[in-house]
Amino acid sequence: MRAADIFDRMAESVGTVARCAPATVRLLLTAFATGGHVLLEDLPGMGKTTVARALAAVTGGTARRVQCTPDLLPSDITGVTIFDERTREFEFHPGPVFANVVIVDEINRTSPRTQSALLEVMQEGRVTVDGKAHPVPDPFLVVATQNPADLEGTFPLPEAQLDRFLMRLSLGYPGEEAELSLMRGASMAAPEDLVCVLDGAEMSRLAAAADRIIFADPVYQYVLELAQRTRRHPRLRAGVSMRASIALCRAARMYALADGRVYVTPDDIKDLAGPVWGHRLAPFSRASSAEENTALLAEVLAEVPVPGPHGNRP
């Protein structure tokens, strides 16, 4: 089966349980297939948790959920070592991060100390408890949610944490017809009822196929010029990091593969720049919003000359 067909089947399955834009589902699937984590920033009741559970189901993986609160401890996420009186040995009890898809609800409601517990596992794919490393399942994806309208009692994610997320997405409101259908009581499938479309072996084949996608040097140069422009922007105290540039290139390969192409185009870069880079920009104003970062990035995209369709300069 072609990679594009696999993505189409996955998107169709997710669409049976959640009414969100096909473009958003495609970005979410691209992030998962790339092996990246996703930050869903949206209002309550938009289906963020349902979409994450559906993603776990169509990939045949396990899903665990963490509800963040101010008193949540790092060990509540990673797990804890407990002395077993019966065996007279210390035994590790894994936390909810030991799943293929980990849904971290309202991540900005827990303390920075607990947020930092996610740093190692998101980057290294393992947790260290009492000096011993424990690998998490593969594939592994963190889908964290936060409410952009909630300001009281929240702890904004530090830049180091934000940089661990491949994409920041917003599901948005469903279309008018879709919302009317839901209001009339149209039934939606449960995530647990979805059939596995992409297993671990198929995921590895997708990753290998993405590595073979052609990425022309002019397109690499285009990404570099965009990154450098963010670093020189007068309203940004920090542009995107090298990790962000590499992440954009990785995502672009998978994005092209999902579209049935064997090469990356400048349009792929433009489509992905917002989701991959928007949350990594650091304006001088600490109170900047996602919309402001999107506007700044749009300025950068408008200033840099775009290569031709296949990477050649016009």
The pLDDT tens digits of the residues spanning 137-176 come to: 988 889 998 877 555 667 888 888 889 999 999 887 766 7
Distance CA 90, CA 163 (A): 35
Architecture of the structural domain at 1-184+193-211: 3-Layer(aba) Sandwich (3.40)
The sign of the torsion formed by the CA atoms of 99, 166, 266, 222 equals: negative
Secondary structure letter of residue 158 according to DSSP:
P
One-letter amino acid of 241: S
Domain with CATH 3.40.50.300 in the chain: 1-184+193-211
Distance CA 144, CA 165 (A): 9
More confident residue, 188 or 73: 73
Judge whether residue 121 has pLDDT over 70: yes
- pLDDT tens for 259-308 read 999 999 999 999 999 999 999 988 877 656 677 888 889 999 999 999 87
- pLDDT tens for 185-213 read 655 667 777 777 777 777 888 889 999 99
Indicate the pTM of the whole model.
0.87
Residue 15, pLDDT score: 77
Distance CA 270, CA 293 (A): 15
Residue 247, pLDDT score: 96
Question: At 248, which helix (H) or strand (E)?
Answer: helix 242-258
Q: Which CA distances in Å does 1 have to 7, 59, 198, 256?
A: 10, 16, 11, 16
Domain with CATH 1.10.8.80 in the chain: 212-314
Secondary structure letter of residue 114 according to DSSP:
H
Residue 186, pLDDT score: 59
Residue 258, pLDDT score: 93
127 CB contacts (<8 Å, ≥6 apart)?
A: 78, 79, 95, 97, 117, 120, 121, 133, 134, 136
Q: What are the backbone dihedrals phi and psi of residue 98, each rounded to the nearest 5 degrees, phi first? A: -85, 70
Judge whether residue 96 has pLDDT over 90: yes
What's the farthest any 2 CA atoms get from each other in the chain?
73
Are the C-beta atoms of 17 and 50 separated by less than 8 Å?
Answer: yes
Residue 313, pLDDT score: 45
Residue 287, pLDDT score: 53
Are the C-beta atoms of 272 and 252 separated by less than 8 Å?
Answer: yes
Distance CA 276, CA 269 (A): 10
- pLDDT tens for 24-69 read 888 988 998 898 999 988 777 777 778 878 887 887 778 888 999 9
Question: At 204, which helix (H) or strand (E)?
Answer: helix 200-211
Residue 112: how many CA atoms within 13 Å on its side-chain side?
7
Tokens of 232: 């020189």
Residue 314, pLDDT score: 41
pLDDT band at 22 (very low <50, low <70, confident <90, very high): confident
Architecture of the structural domain at 212-314: Orthogonal Bundle (1.10)
Judge whether residue 311 has pLDDT over 60: no
pLDDT band at 230 (very low <50, low <70, confident <90, very high): very high
Residue 185, pLDDT score: 63
Tokens of 241: 């990091």
Q: What is the mean pLDDT of residues 210-236?
A: 94
Q: What is the mean pLDDT of residues 122-139?
A: 89
Residue 182: how many CA atoms within 13 Å on its side-chain side?
16
Average pLDDT along the chain = 85
**165 beta partners:** 37
Residue 83, pLDDT score: 84
Residue 131, pLDDT score: 85
Tokens of 300: 């950068």
**41 beta partners:** 146
More confident residue, 264 or 88: 264
Query: Quick one: residue 142, left, alpha or beta (phi over 0 = left, psi -120 to 50 = alpha)?
Result: beta
Distance CA 286, CA 292 (A): 11
